[in-house]
Amino acid sequence: SQTIHQWPATLVQPVGSPLSLECTVEGTSNPNLYWYRQAAGRGLQLLFYSVGIGQISSEVPQNLSASRPQDRQFILSSKKLLLSDSGFYLCAWSSQGMEPQHFGDGTRLSIL
């Protein structure tokens, strides 16, 4: 069966520090991969999605970037975090077609 792993679960970072969040999927090949952010008490905002290695689409201009160095690995990065980057970051995957997206457990990021 397919599983998605996301880490770390919780992260506290100072303003201006770099960020790297990692997401990996097991049990499937060539998945579509997604990064979302959920601010406290709000809905999900799609940040990036990828349909293949090295193919990244950005949905929202910001100081975050994403990379997909391997088929089942998706990384969210920042060179300098802002206070507004705080939130709950969720990675998700889907297969081609009509199947729903499946979400990882999320990373709760607090910026101090």
Partner 1 sequence: ELKVEQNPLFLSMQEGKNYTIYCNYSTTSDRLYWYRQDPGKSLESLFVLLSNGAVKQEGRLMASLDTKARLSTLHITAAVHDLSATYFCAVSPQGGSEKLVFGKGTKLTVNP
- Give the separation between CA 102 and CA 104, rounded to whole angstroms: 7
Q: Nearest Cα to 35, choosing from 87, 82, 83, 80?
A: 87
- Give the separation between CA 96 and CA 86, rounded to whole angstroms: 31
Does residue 100 belong to the site contacting partner 1 (CB under 8 A)?
yes
What values do phi and psi take at 60, rounded to 5?
-135, 125
Among 11, 46, 53, 56, binds partner 1 (CB under 8 A): 46
Nearer to partner 1, 32 or 78 (CB): 32
Residues 50-79 that bind partner 1 (CB under 8 A): 51, 59
Q: With CB under 8 A as the contact rule, which of the stretches 19-27, 63-71, 77-85, 86-94 interacts with partner 1?
A: 86-94
Which residues does 95 contact at the CB level (< 8 Å), separation at least 6? 28, 31, 32
Does residue 103 belong to the site contacting partner 1 (CB under 8 A)?
yes
Each residue 5-44 as x (binds partner 1 by CB under 8 A) or -, in order, gives ---------------------------x---------xxx
* Contact predicate 25/90, CB 8 Å: no
- Applying CB under 8 A, which residues contact partner 1? 32, 42-44, 46, 49, 51, 59, 90, 92, 94, 96, 98-106, 108
